[in-house]
Structure 1
Amino acid sequence: MCTVVIRVPESADDDVRILAIRDEDPHRPWRPLGQWWPDRPGVTGVLDELAGGAWLAHDDERLAVLLNREGGSTVAVPASRGGLVLGSIAGDPLPDPLLTLGFNLVEADRGGVRITSWDGGVPRLTDLAPGTHMIAHDDVDDPATPRVAAWLADFAAASTDGDRWWEEWVAVLRRTAEIGPEDDRAIIRDNQPHGYPTLTLLVCAAKIGATGVSATMATLDDPGAWNDVSL
């Protein structure tokens, strides 16, 4: 039940900004941002060691990050969703048929941001308008998602100017942690009481623009518990 905050600029000359917060089973092995795929030179990402895919990845021109959602394929052994991220960076079309569980795939380049949502049937495409957006396990900017309803306005009001453009967004993230990780409004989360083995593990900030793509990340000292992070 990850969360992604996105700022799409009014002008294509400005940078897209993304703050991505990852929830995952802390016992599932992974590796931080790095170039882990010898057959994909220039691709940097957060590796899922079990399936070989990525939660988030980028090259010099584009970035993709994947969030889980309910629904999707009913095959006995669904394919890993992490392959969709690597496929996006390579410019590959979605597999047909889709054999994964449901997802929201966020794809960004200097031209803007598109979200592909799938929970069965035909994938739905959403091109984001300029402004600040949030997405988790439902639709983008969905007011029925408690964390979106609680915090979207705060992220929208925060500045993303300067070399350390993410600092005000991280300050909002710090405030969100005051309500506790089990609350439906929480972004720093412990999802175990909701029936999922996942806790918040890391925070990643990325920008995409004319000078390319840059990303930085920090892990939490204890999964599901906020500490001040240095990005």
Structure 2
Amino acid sequence: MSIEPSAAVPVLLLSVRDEYVGRRWSPPGHHWPAQPSAVGGLDLVAGGTWLAVEPGGTGAGDSADSGPVAACLLNGFGTSAPEAARLSRGALPLLAVRGGRIDTLDFDRYDPFHLVVVRPDGARVLSWGGGTGGRLVELDLPTGLSVVLNDGPEGLSENRTASERIRALMAARADHFRARFEAAPRPLPLLDNPDTERAWGAWLPIVTGDGLPLDAPAALVQRRDFGDGRIWGSSSISLLALGPAGVRYDFAPAPVGPGGNGWRRVEP
């Protein structure tokens, strides 16, 4: 996430979806008849999404406005909800972009999560660690570059993974790519430029993996066998730009093919 209030395009969001590779999904589209203007990828298992965009949405919370809004979901660590009462976290991005009050939900029914709500004037992260008597933590992201992991913003959530291996992988990923994005010229994606490569400039080779093997400790686009018979990996990459003129949304299945083949611009 890059926030530069004085820039022509003040907010840029990179989202890499990591999931068990056998989990079925559909690419971004208008998948929800009850919310026809929302666009996002569809999780075919639970019916929700990991990232939703409203081109003229109202956003969530008291600072809502009529500009574009996006919401990105990350699974968190902590106490799982009771199975009999559990609700899908995939509904949360859709609720956020239509202006729903996330802070009024019965959080005991959700597994831990981090929800990043993005508008042209900035971004806020809502974090839930689960458990009876737990609390929702809200944080406004600062100007500059921020990294949100499954361990929360900058890996500093109150509820973090107990696995040293997973923590080390997340830290390696964040350290490598923070340095790479800080060193690269910040793009200014033009809303009327259909070409993904020209719109995102020096960011695009970094976003697509920066040449790292899929099993490298710092891999952004990853594929890992944790030994339980299932393969964990990156299934898609999303690039969003939000500004006064609207929102730009570029999407590709991961890993991206040679020469950047596979990118398409999503028309909200």
TM-score bin (small chain): 0.7 to 0.9
Query: Structure 2: how far apart are the matches of 1:27 and 1:71?
Result: 24
TM-score (norm 1): 0.85
Residue 174 of structure 1, CA deviation: 4.4
Provide closer, same or farther for how the CA distance between residues 11 and 87 of structure 1 changes in structure 2, counting only shifts above 3 A.
same
Q: In the alignment, residue 76 of structure 1 is paired with which amino acid?
A: E
Correspondence for 2:12 = 17
Correspondence for 1:140 = 153
Choose 67-76 or 48-57, whichever is displaced more.
67-76
Structure 2 counterparts to residues 35-54 of structure 1, below 5 A: 35-54=30-49
Q: Name the structure where strand makes up a greater proportion of residues.
A: 1
Q: Percent identical across equivalent pairs?
A: 28
The structure whose Rg is larger is 2
Residue 156 of structure 1, CA deviation: 2.0
Structure 2 counterparts to residues 170-181 of structure 1, below 5 A: 170-174=204-208, 176-178=210-212, 180-181=213-214
SS at match of 1:191: strand
Query: Structure 1: how far apart are the matches of 2:260 and 2:79?
Result: 34
Choose 190-199 or 90-99, whichever is displaced more.
190-199
Gaps of 5+ in 2: 56-67, 157-166, 191-197, 264-268
Correspondence for 2:260 = 229
Residue 13 of structure 1, CA deviation: 5.7
Structure 2 counterparts to residues 189-200 of structure 1, below 5 A: 189-193=222-226, 197-200=231-234
Provide closer, same or farther for how the CA distance between residues 97 and 173 of structure 1 changes in structure 2, counting only shifts above 3 A.
closer
Residue 228 of structure 1, CA deviation: 4.2
Query: Structure 1: how far apart are the matches of 2:79 and 2:99?
Result: 22
- The answer to whether the 8 A contact 2:52-2:72 is kept is yes
- The answer to whether the 8 A contact 2:124-2:140 is kept is yes
SS at match of 2:236: strand
How many residues align? The count is 222
Q: In the alignment, residue 229 of structure 1 is paired with which amino acid?
A: G
TM-score (norm 2): 0.74
RMSD: 2.3
Residue 117 of structure 1, CA deviation: 1.6
Query: Structure 1: how far apart are the matches of 2:8 and 2:200?
Result: 19
Q: In the alignment, residue 186 of structure 1 is paired with which amino acid?
A: A
SS at match of 2:91: helix
Residues 153-184 of structure 1: per-residue CA shift (max 9 Å, x gap):
21122221354342322222345442x32333
Query: Structure 2: how far apart are the matches of 1:137 and 1:68?
Result: 6
Residues 35-82 of structure 1: per-residue CA shift (max 9 Å, x gap):
011110210001111211111110111001111121143312532111
- The answer to whether the 8 A contact 1:155-1:169 is kept is yes
